[in-house]
Amino acid sequence: MSYLPDFPVLLKNGSRVVRDGVEHVIEDRLVGVVTAPSGQIVGCDPLTDAREVSPFIVTVPPGRYELRAWIASLHDGVSGTDIRTVALQLVVREQPTMRWELESALWLIWWPCEH
């Protein structure tokens, strides 16, 4: 079953969540700058079969945008730290998110303003 997590809380630099005795510390890291000359952004999960799950496509104004990775450092107090990428964010505008949309069971798109 799909669900929409509390992203404004989870995707905040320094957020801490404890689940099943494991602490998750969330950080964002700049990956680089993406140039979108056409404004079309295509996203997909590299671990899925493209014949089974279609990518999502959204359109933004043509330009250059920061790409940020949201990283979770998992600490269980026993086996050390496990680091995982939990989300990628294309920063279209430096504004608070107005709403979140679940594109499919796999894709989530956040909109910084009404579109």
pLDDT-derived band at 92, boundaries 50, 70, 90: confident
By residue count, the chain amounts to 115
C-alpha 15/C-alpha 3 separation (Å) is 20
- CB 28, CB 69: distance < 8 Å: yes
Judge whether residue 5 has pLDDT over 60.
no
Q: Which residue has the higher pLDDT, 13 or 96?
A: 13
Residue 107 has pLDDT above 80, yes or no: no
- What are the structural domain ranges in the chain? 7-109
The pLDDT of 7-20, averaged and rounded, is 76
Structure-token pair, residue 111: 């909109």
Q: Is residue 4 over pLDDT 90?
A: no
pLDDT-based confidence at residue 64 (cuts at 50, 70, 90) = very high
Retrieve residue 27's tokens: 């950080």
